[in-house]
Amino acid sequence: MGSDNFIAQIIGLLLGIVAVGVLINTAIYRRMVEEFTESPALCYLGGILALFFGLFILNFNNAWTADWTVIITIIGWLSVVKGVLLIVFPNAYLHLSDWMRKGDAVMRYMGIIYLLPGLFLTFKGFGLI
């Protein structure tokens, strides 16, 4: 098993589990987003974690190839960008996340958006498709 499959398993399971949590407990997750954006310390910690995991992913997979593994690279870069925004420009990120606090429907859409790549990466990582 290569690093692509290993990373796909981890990211896929993480996204899938978070997505199910969001879909089952939408109001609670929306409240968590509100509390996260109100705490500078949590924003900073979230930025450090996002940056760390993004750089970790890119260290093992930073390939712009025409196959499914490019999804891992894109997720790694998105995580790096999110981390940098949270650390360097926290207010800009807070304004970008305003739309997530609009209502439960938005959180449900986010849950579905996370679920699809989560399932895909899980199945690809474990060699089921």
Question: For the chain, how many helices (H) and strands (E)?
Answer: 6, 0
Structural domains counted in the chain: 1
pTM for the whole structure: 0.84
* Position 126 in a domain: no
* Position 127 in a domain: no
* Position 129 in a domain: no
In which element (H, E) is residue 65 found?
Answer: none
Q: What is the span of the domain harbouring residue 14?
A: 3-121
Residue 62: CB atoms within 10 Å: 12
- Token couple for 84: 């940098």
- Token couple for 14: 């993480």
- Which tens digit of pLDDT belongs to each residue from 25-73? 988 888 888 888 888 898 899 999 999 999 999 999 888 988 898 999 9
- Which tens digit of pLDDT belongs to each residue from 79-114? 999 999 999 988 877 777 776 666 778 888 888 999
Higher pLDDT, 24 or 90: 24
* Contact criterion met (CB below 8 Å) for 90 and 42: no
* Position 128 in a domain: no
